[in-house]
Amino acid sequence: MSFRKRVKKEVLIIDGAMGTLLQQRGLPGGWCPEEWNLSHPEAVKEIHKLYLEAGADIITTNTFGAIQLKLADYHLGDQVKEINQAAVKLAKEVAQPYGAMVAGSVGPLGKFLQPLGTMTFEEAYQQFYEQCAAMVEAGVDLILFETFGDIGEMRAALIAAADAGDVPVVASFTFDETGRTFTGTDPETAAVVAERLGIAAIGVNCSVGPRQLEGVVRKLTESTNLPVLVSPNAGMPEIIGGKTVFRETPEIMAEYAQRFVDYGASILGGCCGTTPKHIQAIYQQVKKLKPKCRNKRFGLRVASRVKTVTIQPSGVPVAIGERLNPTGKKALQAEIREGKTEITRRDALTQVQAGAEILDVNVGVGGVDQVAAMERAVQAVQVLVEAPLCIDSTDPTVIEHALKLYHGKALINSVNGEENSIETILPLAKRYGAALIGLTLDDEGIPPTAAGRLAVARRLVERTEAMGIPRDDLMMDCLVLTVSAQPEGVPETLEAIRLVKQKLQITTSLGVSNVSFGLPNRVLINAAFFAMALNAGLDAAILNPQDQRMMETLRASAVLTGRDVRAEKYIAIEQQTHNGSKMETTGEQMKASTPLDILYQAVLSGDKDNIVSYINEALKTGLSPMELLDKALIPGIEEVGRRYGAGIYFLPQLMMAGETMTKSFERLRPELAKGPAKKAGTVVLATVKGDIHDIGKNIVSVMLANHGFEVIDLGKNVANEEILRVAAEQKANIIGLSALMTTTMVHMQEIIKLVKEQGLNCKVMVGGAAVTEHYAREIGADGYAIDAVEAVNVAKKLAS
């Protein structure tokens, strides 16, 4: 029986940790675990067999890091196919007598995709495709993407897997104690983005123990009808007596597995620190249980990296901001032609602050490379605001390029009933997991009657569902014509809205301002028609959210039509307005009036594209470089750090602000060199020997440099002797050590001991995923930092 059939009928047990058991069998620290598929196949097979005897229905291949990019760190980059296929063969040989399934394990790349990093979608796609294709060819039963924290990377992985072959795919994310991934994605958003990319199940694994994952699992099962996998660590790792210890017992893991099944999970297992004993206990606790049936309609959901917006027939109507459209906007047209994004960024922020929940993005300017223009706009906006994006273009190439870049579930504006539109746009929505706005026009134009528009809408629904896209992901625009030219059209539009909702059970949208074209006092006409459309059941409107009358009409109508239950949203917004307060968002309204204000806001919003020009303008006013740093740039990055610590900002905002500060320092460095040097201290930074993970360390490097430290970044997998040599030569104030794996953390203690033995006059601070404050104290470190922001604070104290 296939995975898809079994997971609906029974609770499935998946295996536990591989690396832990390989180490027990002699895998040296710093050695490539996946290479053992070739050199120590019997050890790998033995581990598989232990899990199968413990009750596992699914065993995972020893291929978590068997992707070209990671294998290259061990000079094995040309053996991707050989290593992955050997792993599948080993697992299948052992699994066959037990009737078990083999899941091909695929881990993250260890690099950020654009705009957070330098890796392109195509580069990431190719990495994942190569590994998945090798395993599919070898006969793997399913593919398991596990321990992913970046939704953009997961999108590339899932699209690659779909192209690699027709096997079920499971997407498993890692969440921290806050209930989000390290790039800020919550469980609902992870589900919304991933489930439309063809996955057979979604899950959570690693990072923390079962106790900390309870809330995540509950939210995940509430957010999707897909089967849910849960594979927590056996608690958080601790180093005791030089050995890695995970404290959660098999009994505790089994107890929580029972709770997870009660919430709706149907694939249970373990990650770091779990052993066959843990899996056996889970098997005994939950194997006889039946999966819960969940069949909930969620409405149309779109998502950014950090936020999901739901449009429901009975919910509060949603405002889609229209101002990122150059039609009739000469300044925006000029900016698009010049390849800039200043107005785009400003209008994105102000629209969100005015109440827009989704932003429509259009770059339709004649004579412009619209693919490049859309790339600039999407990249600038998606790291600036939490609102999901609506990709607005008539060119399928522009739409596809934007969908590749977008780290969420976008809304496409639009598809219509013309055959060419259906054949080009629907496949894009299917491939990239996007929702759609459908226009009720076809090859014969816009039907003059409501019944005619309903017929077009019905055909679009049928073709959409035939493509494998659920009807809830299609929102219909019944099209309003200019009332001054076709007054009979308004009643037909309103009736079409009613019919589409009643007959097709889908949501509706409208570009409201079309109705008033050519008339005086357009705001009045727009607001009156908008109220009528809302009464007819309109669910979303593309409008100017800074038009106060329109937004007030939306909120009041939602109360009067019973869609804002108990007027909760209306009251909250009115109270906020009355108090004169605005909620903090991921950006600031760009109303700064002085050069220093402009620089401060640019850092807060991560405006790396425009920061140099702002600095140039500020210097022209007579402000000194030190004034720019002390009064705007440094306060700006410190405020970013505060918001990150408070959970207002997430890693993407922190990184973009860091890049903005880096560009600031590059521009000001020649100016600062003319005056007295001002340096916070010198830090030698390194990921310790045997550890090839450096994402967190790289972020720390940028943040320290942006706070005035001279950073000497030695990279990853750095020998103890090299770290000490450079620290001595550079007279470093601080040595910063990073480690992800518990097997490499021991080198931190070795380095601290050598610093003391050699009498180096420097402090040592440590950090990394598995490092704790308790461990830092135990090994004699002078400081511990849980993240990049805290690393800056610790470094300042140690250097003072």
**696 and 738 in contact (C-beta within 8 Å)?**
yes
**Residue 271, annotated ligand binder?**
yes
Q: How are the residues of the chain apportioned to helix, strand and coil, as percentages rounded to the nearest 5?
A: 50, 15, 35
Which residues are CB-contacts of 90 (< 8 A; sequence separation ≥ 6)? 37, 41, 44, 45, 48, 61, 62
Q: How far apart are CA 254 and CA 284, in angstroms?
A: 8
Q: Secondary structure of 78-127 in the HEC alphabet?
A: HHHHHHHHHHHHHHHHHHHHHCCEEEEEECCCCCCECCCCCECHHHHHHH
**Residue 32, annotated ligand binder?**
no
Task: Tell me the CA distances in angstroms from 94 to 23, 40, 90, 234, one per residue in order.
Answer: 20, 15, 7, 25
Q: How far apart are CA 775 and CA 697, in angstroms?
A: 18
Phi, psi of 243 (to 5 degrees): -120, 150
Phi, psi of 268 (to 5 degrees): -120, 140
* Beta-bridge partners for 324: 361
Q: How far apart are CA 769 and CA 771, in angstroms?
A: 6
Q: Secondary structure of 485-539 in the HEC alphabet?
A: CCCCHHHHHHHHHHHHHHHHCCCEEEEHHHHHCCCCCHHHHHHHHHHHHHHHCCC
**Residue 293, annotated ligand binder?**
no
Phi, psi of 645 (to 5 degrees): -65, -30
Residue that has been written with the tokens 């299609």 in this structure: 474
**364 and 329 in contact (C-beta within 8 Å)?**
no
Q: Indicate the helix (H) or strand (E) that contains 453.
A: helix 450-466
Per DSSP, 366 falls in state: T
Residue ranges of the annotated binding site for Zn(2+) are 206, 271-272
Residue ranges of the annotated binding site are 206, 271-272
